[in-house]
Structure 1
């Protein structure tokens, strides 16, 4: 609503315009005038007055038609209309109200009645505008809330997708490495590619015989202890856990994120594994289970990448290097860590190792040189 309120007076009689205008201007209102129906419509659309005093009998368009057109125009704001006319029959009053008028005054107009009705209509106009403003604010807030809800839904969806990616990565990467891959936006590192890696294969000696005679619950309980202990060591050294297969575990280094000294990391991890598993072996022996632990480590190129279905993906390494690590593990006696020639060349200065001579390994046409890592330099020699 305008301040001060704007009143449009429409009458084809100049004297009436002057009298009504003077009376209302004295009350502090701003006055606009129109002399016929067309002028009234034009003024109402241009100036958006707060109240219209409308004569019924006017040239070009009568007051009733003007009232109908104004009330039917959705582009116009709410405009109270007071019909001011000499026609005071009940039928005329009904016709005016049916045309959309809000009040009806007969000429000659009583000044106090005029001012009272004007105040009344302006109060209604103010209340209506307030309601409209509140409705507009509520609608804007609803739109904003809807936008926030959509934004929240997108964020939740993104976070769920992120959690799914983290969960998928943490199946074979350490938590730190999984976060690194995701934070760097480098999930493409999990696509198929070729890279030089150091592969570590380890398993339990005597596990098959144990599993044949033990109860299934006892076998599962032992594997949980073993996997939990070895898994902690793998992640502590930043290794990529390819898979648990019964008592067999395949880990590799230098992929999907390259690392410095992958061979040395692998050997240090294997030594830490041996020490951790030795504690388990002693506890298992007290329960009557004679088991041992062996490790094989090899270095070479492999093809790596995520494999599986959309609902279950694994990250794997395929190549001779993983087969060699597995065969060296097969040859390892309890407590031994057997490494290939290439691995030994990379870690020679850091380990106490003994040559075992070329080994005839299944799947390899020629004997393979191997070394048994007894300890890291500066540590007590083992086996």
Structure 2
């Protein structure tokens, strides 16, 4: 999982900390592919001015988010421990984390999949995606900041449902 927040240009800095991201990666039969994706996303978001923290699986990501709440969580759908959907649901169920924007990357969800709406994710991006589009979307989520998700989907401007 990647947690992100972007850095403001020097002229507009107002004592804001560097944005934080978490990116949990899957392990197992395609560990190398997930490791590569995690490294690419780490470089992509770091280069775009984000502070990035990674986690090896969904459980570790949830513990890390509880220790140091991020500005945005970016997670893969398929991970060991907790899937991206389960991680999002666990974040929504935790009162200290429930308002954190969560975005899910997926190669397996199809548009209209009811699991997307059930996850209460702010957005789901289908692979393949353009890097610039993903950075722009995550930057927008970071700018939007923490917001309600547990009352109705309409509270989240990026609701994935």
Is TM (by shorter chain) over 0.5? yes
The alignment of Structure 1 onto Structure 2 pairs a total of residues equal to 127
1:134-173 CA-to-partner distances (Å, cap 9, x unmatched) read xxxxxxxxxxxxxxxxxxxxxxxxxxxxxxxxxxxxxxxx
**Alpha-carbon shift at residue 50 of structure 1 (Å):** 0.4
Q: Distance in 1 between matches of 2:59 and 2:128?
A: 24
1:116 alignment partner in structure 2: 136
CA contact (8 A) 2:91 2:98 kept: no
Distance 1:114 1:46 in 2: 26
Alpha-carbon distance between aligned partners in 2 of 1:106 and 1:81, rounded to the nearest angstrom:
14
Q: Partners of 1:17 and 1:89 in 2: how far apart?
A: 22
What per-residue deviation string (whole Å, max 9, x for no partner) do you get for residues 123-142 of structure 1? 2116x49xxxxxxxxxxxxx
Query: Match of 2:23?
Result: 9
CA distance in structure 2 between the aligned counterparts of 1:95 and 1:114, rounded to whole angstroms: 21
Unaligned runs of 5+ in 1: 130-383
Counterpart-to-counterpart distance in 2, 1:11 and 1:96: 20
Secondary structure class of the residue paired with 1:90: coil
Q: Is the 2:92–2:98 contact (alpha carbons within 8 Å) kept by the matching residues of 1?
A: no
- In structure 2, how many angstroms separate the alpha carbons of the residues matched to 1:78 and 1:113? 23
Does the 8 A contact of 1:48 with 1:77 survive in 2? no
Aligned to 1:25, which of 46, 53, 62?
46
Question: Structure 1: which 4+ aligned runs deviate by more than 4 Å?
Answer: none
Corresponding residue of 1:132:
none
User: Greater helix percent: which structure?
Assistant: 1
Where does residue 96 of structure 1 map in the other structure? 116
1:36 paired residue number: 57
Instruction: Please tell me whether the aligned partners of residues 7 and 32 of structure 1 are also in contact (alpha carbons under 8 angstroms).
Output: yes
Deviation of 1:78 (Å)? 2.0
* Alignment TM-score, normalising by the size of structure 2: 0.72
| Paired residues for 1:219-258 under 5 Å | none
Q: Which residue of 2 aligns with 1:75?
A: 96
Q: Could you give the per-residue CA deviations for residues 198-229 of structure 1, whole angstroms, max 9, x where no partner exists?
A: xxxxxxxxxxxxxxxxxxxxxxxxxxxxxxxx
Q: 1:1-383, aligned counterparts within 5 Å?
A: 3-12=17-26, 13-76=34-97, 78-92=99-113, 94-125=114-145, 128=147
Alpha carbons 1:55, 1:83 under 8 Å: kept: yes
For the residue of structure 1 that corresponds to 2:145, the secondary structure is helix
Which structure shows the higher strand fraction? Answer: 1
Name structure 2 gaps, 5 residues minimum.
6-15, 27-33, 149-161
Task: Quote the RMSD (CA, aligned, Å).
Answer: 2.0
Deviation at 1:20, TM superposition (A): 0.6
Measured after TM superposition, the shift of residue 16 of structure 1 is 0.9
Shift of 1:55: 0.7
